[in-house]
Chain A
């Protein structure tokens, strides 16, 4: 993550600025300081989160860009070079078919991240729609929705994903996303519902109603944007679980079918000969671990930055 010098200046100036704003003197120069800029400043104070964020961005860019510039064709089989350790030509060695591991891990990372992000967004989407209707309308509808959710909560999500994949039959990126999100949006729905119920008590919601705002406007304009902070945190909290789930499915052979590979299915390929050539398994496994760890650190930093409760204790 690059440290934009402009942002750094604003971040430093933000503290006295807020004080000046409270005084609201006539004629005083007015600076902009949005909620997000304040959050960004707080995020930068968390060193672990900044490092994790930088690594995460690097990994994403690497996965996206490296296959384009790589000198090796990821699908080209060169059995003469098979199972090589790290060399200058193949920085991470080659796999059992002599394919360049660095290029392959970038491609697999693309798929893993795409599935992870896609499934996470799907989870949040389900969660927002379900949770906000329950929280906003309340009463009997809320009760029915929540009891249904309680019942669904018992579903173990990986077996459910396996069964679903078996029923659908074809395994590609889209069915993987569906399988991973279908039984894991329950927590997101509860978070959103709780947020909406809390936010509904706010005076500005009553004020909006007192000014004649229709219900959908109250919901989309005044309630949902205010859940955004929590949703972003939830997103980075869900992401590791989904990526791990995908890796697990890949590892037990239910992942994306060859020649395409995700990090999980790459690790599975390496498992057969991990004693002789451990790097074939270690490389994708490490990649999974790093992505998951980074997402966790980022979620942590974001919670400090965006959650009003931790905010008070940090700034006090």
Chain B
């Protein structure tokens, strides 16, 4: 049985300007211990997807208007706030983008770790402290036993993210949601944090949802990747498959925007960019949402009229496009 089963999730923001369809019909399932990467550019609804799973979207203005989030057989969207609070941190944990603001500056590291243990397990003070030191050692913080009495401002960004991970791991959750966990960090520190996440995931047999805009980060960690565009998944496939044989024009463009340093067909010259900007989520284009920026959308082929379905193009490989790479007749002239 899948650990997490999201079906047709729709989260809309009801604002003065209109209804913003931040997440508009997303489905996926995640097996225990597997890692799913969700990639997409800013504002495509990645974070809202994560917050919707946790039930942490700001209400109002946002509301889950449709769909279900089944976690171990329970629909999280139907739970009361109190029941959700027992799930959060205990069974699903989350780490955030900016480690500089994710820790409370007025509380010692110790307090912030033991808080979770106390909340979900009711540990005694000594037990909680011992466990907290173990956790800090597990995320490789030197001098854990001493550092535990420090305030967050004595830690660097990478160290703080380690502390955040320690807090998230405190209750041994089955699912960890990492929302851009490395975006605010230096490149070298990024690699360390990703390695750490990967190691801990294997050790704890924990499922991971990694949200990022960085195709490189996803490649390192995820078993499976979903590409998100304008509130919907446009392509979903096992990681290697997606990188080797991207189907959706958007995925191709994202990969084309990556610098490549080695391999058989190293691209030469400039990196490609995608013309245009992501669509307005209040009034998304009728038809395919990528059509206005798509080099393959021509007049009269239906791209502008009807939204394509997410269809299976190969086993485990899904794409939402009328012109997936493997079905194209001929390449258009390069822009």
Judging by beta carbons under 8 Å apart, are B107 and A24 in contact?
no
A207 touches B85 (CB 8 A): no
A212 touching B94 by the CB < 8 A rule?
A: no
Main secondary structure of the interface of A (DSSP, over half): helix
Is the Cβ of B60 less than 8 Å from the Cβ of A203?
no
For residue A33, CB closer than 8 A to chain B, the reply is: yes
Cα distance A256–B86 in the bound complex, in angstroms: 55
Chain A min CB distance to B258 (Å): 28
How big is chain A's contact interface, by range?
20 to 34
A24 in contact with B96 (CB, 8 Å): no
Contact A210 B88 (CB under 8 A): yes
Evaluate contact between A208 and B154: CB separation under 8 angstroms.
Answer: no
Residue from the list A24, A212, A226, A228 in contact with B116, Cβ < 8 A? A212
Contact B105 A226 (CB under 8 A): yes
Closest to A211 in B: B89
Contacts of A207 in B (CB 8 A): 94-96, 102-103, 164, 167
A56 to chain B minimum Cβ distance, whole angstroms, is: 26
Contact A203 B143 (CB under 8 A): no
Determine whether the beta carbon of A211 is less than 8 Å from that of B167: yes
A154: interface (CB < 8 Å): no
Tell whether B155 is near chain A: CB-to-CB under 8 Å.
yes
Q: A204: which B residues are within 8 A, CB to CB?
A: 101-105
A24 engages B142 (CB within 8 Å): yes
Given contacts A33-B154, A206-B96, contact A225 B89 (CB under 8 A): no
- Residue in contact with B89 in the complex, picked from A30, A206, A210, A221, CB distance below 8 Å: A210
B119 interface hit (Cβ, 8 Å)? yes
Shortest distance between the CB of B109 and any CB in chain A (Å) = 12
Hey, what's the 0/1 contact readout for B69-106 against A, CB within 8 Å counting as 1? 00000000000000001111110011111100111111
Could you tell me the distance between the alpha carbons of A32 and B164 in the complex, rounded to whole angstroms?
A: 21
Q: Is A168 an interface residue (CB 8 A)?
A: no
Q: Which of B93, B98, B155, B167 contacts A203 (CB 8 A)?
A: B98
Kindly provide the distance from the CB of B14 to the nearest chain A CB, expressed in whole angstroms. 13
Residue of A32, A206, A210 most packed against chain B (CB within 10 A): A210
Q: Are A202 and B142 in contact (CB under 8 A)?
A: no
The residue that A209 contacts in the complex, of B88, B97, B151, B156, with Cβ under 8 A, is B88
Query: Bound complex: CA of A226 vs CA of B105, how far in Å?
Result: 8
Contacts between the two chains (Cβ within 8 Å), count? 101
* Residue A259 at the chain B interface, CB threshold 8 Å: no
How distant is B141 from chain A, measured CB to nearest CB, in Å? 8
Contact B86 A225 (CB under 8 A): no
The reply to whether B156 and A210 contact each other, CB–CB distance below 8 Å, is no
B150 within 8 A of A: yes
The reply on B172 being an interface residue by CB < 8 A is no
Residue from the list A210, A225, A228 in contact with B54, Cβ < 8 A:
A210
* Residue B328 interfacial (CB < 8 Å): no
A148 close to chain B: CB less than 8 A: no
Nearest CB in chain B to that of A227: its residue? B106
Interface string of A195-208 (1 = CB under 8 A from B): 00000001110111
What is the minimal beta-carbon distance from A41 to any residue of chain B, in angstroms? 14
Q: Give bound CA distance, A217 to B82, whole Å.
A: 13
Closest chain A CB from B152 CB (angstroms): 9
Interface presence of B138 (CB below 8 A): no
Min CB–CB distance B116 → chain A (angstroms): 5
Indicate whether B149 reaches chain A with its CB closer than 8 angstroms: yes
Q: What are 13 A-B pairs at a CB distance below 8 A?
A: A21-B154, A25-B142, A30-B150, A32-B149, A34-B151, A35-B106, A203-B98, A204-B103, A210-B56, A211-B116, A212-B89, A217-B119, A225-B106
Known: A24-B155, A32-B149, A213-B85. 16 other contacts (CB 8 A): A18-B154, A21-B155, A23-B156, A26-B142, A34-B151, A35-B105, A35-B153, A203-B101, A204-B101, A207-B167, A211-B168, A212-B87, A212-B120, A217-B115, A221-B104, A222-B107
Binding site for B on A (CB under 8 A): 18, 21-27, 30, 32-35, 139, 202-204, 206-214, 217, 221-222, 225-226, 228
Give me the 3 closest cross-chain CB pairs, A-B, nearest first: A211-B89, A212-B89, A26-B142
